[in-house]
């Protein structure tokens, strides 16, 4: 197998691992809504963490065997793989709008990354790393605070997913910088950057987990998948001297690809908002229906139905015909005196007179 074919194979397996991890994360978010960020007690969540780690390792190895212009666009297939896998293994089918949004986001991202021309790799100095880390954590904190003040679950999830994608993207930038500077004497020198990478990766994982709460699978996953490489590419264009291929034409095509990717994210967001709106309307109609019939039944029900059983005096079992009203027991009816009792009383009266 050639190096290029091996790179493609590793990239595809990496995308499948990322997709499986996202499906498990969304399942955990549904099962543990009270712990949106770190459900440490949930074994499935640790399986999702392992799958995401496997995807990251395979992605790095694929970069070692193949060009960045090929490996990065193939990573966009994560969302395309996730939808059929969720339908097959979790029984959660995506609608036509979700599929269109996922394909648009993937195609736009692939086009954008394919048009990015990597220049000679260089490192960032200490000041640039400090500014980049401060900007990354500041943007993440701002998105997190805005997300907490948003009432719509889908919008909140998209903001959290955007913060997660940004964290992963900046972590990739620091990883690239460390890889360029790495020597046998570098571990202690690179320790601050390694700490930043670990913190960004942990923040990205926790934010992405929270993004799946109440928003389904497609919209948060597509946001993370798109924002991650776009942020990394933006930093590469501004700090690493990278540029778009084919000059002005390539720049225009790259902008068009970005618009297509953004349109896919908008489709996924509106699709999920429409689903939640329909569900809320259906639940509201069900509550109104139950309330209307419940009030009518209470109004038509006789008051005696609400009395405890012990408060109703039963009819005399010896009565010939207890007089019972409509649904209301009026009590016992005095029993008629028998013929023998009448004769005895009549005889006693006659004898006494």
Residue 205 has pLDDT above 80, yes or no: yes
CB atoms within 10 A of CB 37: 15
Query: What's the CA gap between 109 and 73, in Å, rounded?
Result: 7
pLDDT attached to residue 161: 92
Confidence band, pLDDT 50/70/90 cuts, at residue 182: confident
Burial class (CB in 10 A: 0-12, 13-18, 19+), 125: exposed
Q: For 73-119, how does the pLDDT look when each residue is reduced to its tens digit (9 = 90+)?
A: 777 788 888 888 888 877 777 778 888 888 888 888 888 877 877 65
**Which of 49-53, 146-150, 214-218 is the least confident region?**
214-218
Query: What's the CA gap between 115 and 233, in Å, rounded?
Result: 11
Mean pLDDT of the chain: 77
The H-or-E segment that residue 288 falls in is: helix 247-300
- pTM of the predicted model, to two decimals? 0.68
Query: What's the CA gap between 347 and 342, in Å, rounded?
Result: 9
Q: For 27-65, how does the pLDDT look when each residue is reduced to its tens digit (9 = 90+)?
A: 888 888 777 677 778 888 899 999 999 998 888 888 778
**Which of 76-90, 186-200, 288-302 is the least confident region?**
288-302
Nearest to 264 by CA among 108, 84, 113, 120: 108
Burial class (CB in 10 A: 0-12, 13-18, 19+), 136: buried
**Which of 32-46, 217-231, 291-305 is the least confident region?**
291-305
Residue 132 has pLDDT above 70, yes or no: yes
Query: What's the CA gap between 168 and 199, in Å, rounded?
Result: 10
Query: What's the CA gap between 124 and 86, in Å, rounded?
Result: 40
**Hey, which bits of the chain come out as E strands?**
116-117, 243-244
Average pLDDT over residues 324-351: 49
Query: 299: which 2 tokens?
Result: 């109004």
Query: What's the CA gap between 138 and 203, in Å, rounded?
Result: 13
Confidence band, pLDDT 50/70/90 cuts, at residue 304: very low
Confidence band, pLDDT 50/70/90 cuts, at residue 145: very high
Q: Which of 111-120, 191-200, 234-243, 324-333 has the highest mean pLDDT?
A: 191-200
pLDDT attached to residue 136: 93
* CB-CB contact of 41 with 86 (8 Å): no
């Amino acid at each position: 197998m050639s190096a290029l074919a091996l790179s493609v194979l590793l990239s595809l397996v990496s995308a499948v691992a990322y997709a499986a991890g996202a499906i498990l994360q969304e399942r955990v978010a549904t099962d543990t809504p009270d712990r949106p960020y770190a459900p440490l007690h949930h074994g499935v969540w640790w399986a999702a963490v392992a799958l995401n780690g496997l995807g990251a390792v395979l992605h790095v190895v694929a970069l070692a065997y193949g060009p960045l212009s090929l490996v990065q666009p193939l990573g966009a297939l994560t969302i395309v793989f996730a939808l059929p896998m969720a339908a097959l293994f979790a029984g959660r089918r995506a609608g036509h709008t979700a599929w269109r949004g996922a394909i648009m986001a993937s195609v736009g991202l692939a086009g954008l990354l394919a048009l990015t021309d990597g220049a000679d790799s260089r490192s960032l100095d200490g000041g640039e790393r400090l500014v980049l880390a401060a900007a990354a954590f500041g943007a993440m904190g701002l998105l997190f605070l805005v997300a907490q003040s948003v009432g719509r679950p889908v919008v909140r999830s998209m903001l959290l997913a955007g913060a997660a994608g940004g964290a992963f993207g900046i972590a990739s930038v620091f990883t690239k910088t460390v890889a360029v500077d790495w020597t046998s004497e570098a571990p202690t020198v690179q320790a601050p950057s390694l700490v930043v990478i670990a913190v960004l990766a942990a923040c990205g994982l926790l934010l992405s987990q929270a993004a799946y709460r109440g928003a389904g699978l497609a919209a948060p996953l597509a946001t993370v998948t798109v924002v991650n490489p776009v942020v990394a590419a933006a930093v590469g264009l501004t700090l690493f001297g990278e540029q778009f291929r084919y000059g002005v034409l390539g720049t225009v095509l790259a902008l068009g690809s970005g618009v297509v990717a953004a349109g896919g994210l908008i489709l996924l967001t509106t699709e999920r908002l429409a689903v939640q709106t329909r569900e809320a309307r259906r639940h509201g109609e069900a509550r109104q229906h139950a309330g209307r019939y419940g009030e009518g039944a209470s109004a038509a029900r006789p008051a005696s139905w609400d009395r405890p059983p012990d408060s109703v005096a039963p009819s005399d079992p010896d009565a010939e015909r207890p007089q019972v009203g409509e649904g209301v027991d009026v009590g016992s009816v005095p029993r008629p005196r028998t013929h023998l009792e009448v004769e005895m009383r009549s005889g006693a009266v006659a004898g006494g007179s």
